Amino acid sequence: MTLAIVLIVASVLALVLILTVSVSRALQVSSKGATGLQPVDVEAFRNLVDPTEDEYLRRRLLPAEFRAVRRQRLRAVAAYVRVAGANAATLVHIGQNALASSDTQTVEAARQLVNDALLLRRNATLVLMKIYVLLAWPNSALLATPVLHGYERMSGTAMLLGRLQHPSVPVRPAAHW
């Protein structure tokens, strides 16, 4: 009987979960709130994940102080990564809509954007998991560069897609990205 209850509860939860995901996705598709990208301070993010800064703080502070400061910095990194991940999700949405375009160049740029955004979202998830582990052991090293590099590449692709979809509007080239 216990097993039956467990399986029935599991099946009901699975059904609710699947219907919730489907309905929320449908509402998201029909909404126009897909363009809510938030700016990310990449330089501040770079400083936060810079190992030399960590090393400097480790030398200057007492171990207990260093752990407290490191945890605060990790929480700040997590906040940046969450925003980058949310932006990536928005761009997946935008890119998937652009995939329906009749122009092959736009479709190619959209596919590239979706791929880059998905990669960034994957990296953001992995880095967040790592950050949560590091919050418990703040003395370990952190590598968030995949997120940073992914974010920069994705930005370039988003710009290319924007140019292809609206060729009449001049867009400044981002040669240094």
Partner 1 sequence: MNLLRAHSWLWHVLWLVPNVLIFMLGVLLWRRGLHKQYPAFTAFAILSATGQFIVYAADLSPLVSGDNFWRIYCANLVLEGLLKALLVAEIFAHTVGAFDSIARVGKTLIRGAGAILVLAATFAAAYSPGDSHVAIVSEAHLLEQSLFLMETGLLVFIFLFSAHFRLRMPRPVLGIALGLAISACVHLGGWAYIANVAPSEEIRHLIDYGKAAVYQGCILLWFYYLLIPQKEAAALAVPPPDHHNLEVWNQELERLLHS
61 binds partner 1, rule: CB under 8 A: no
Give me the least distance between CB of 146 and partner 1, in Å please.
Answer: 12
Q: Is 154 exposed, middle or buried (0-12, 13-18, 19+ CB in 10 A)?
A: buried
108 binds partner 1, rule: CB under 8 A: no
Binding residues among 75-104 for partner 1 as defined by CB under 8 A: 87, 89-90, 92-94, 96-98, 100-101
* Number of chain positions touching partner 1 (CB under 8 A): 64
Applying CB under 8 A, which of residues 74, 78, 127, 155 lies at the interface with partner 1? 155
Applying CB under 8 A, which of residues 76, 125, 128, 146 lies at the interface with partner 1? 125
What DSSP letter does each residue of 92-160 carry, written as one string?
HHHHHHHTT-S-HHHHHHHHHHHHHHHHHHHHHHHHHHHHHHHHHSTTS----HHHHHHHHHHHHHHHH
115 binds partner 1, rule: CB under 8 A: yes
> In whole angstroms, what is the distance from residue 39 CA to residue 76 CA?
15
Cα distances (Å, whole numbers) of residue 159 to 39, 173, 175, 176: 14, 9, 12, 13
Q: Answer for the pair 124, 88: CB distance below 8 angstroms, yes or no.
A: yes
Note the residues at the interface with partner 1 (CB under 8 A): 1, 3-4, 7-8, 10-12, 14-15, 17-19, 21-22, 24-25, 28-32, 34-35, 37, 39-43, 87, 89-90, 92-94, 96-98, 100-101, 111, 114-116, 118-119, 121-122, 125, 152, 155, 158-159, 161-162, 165-166, 169, 171-172, 174, 176-177
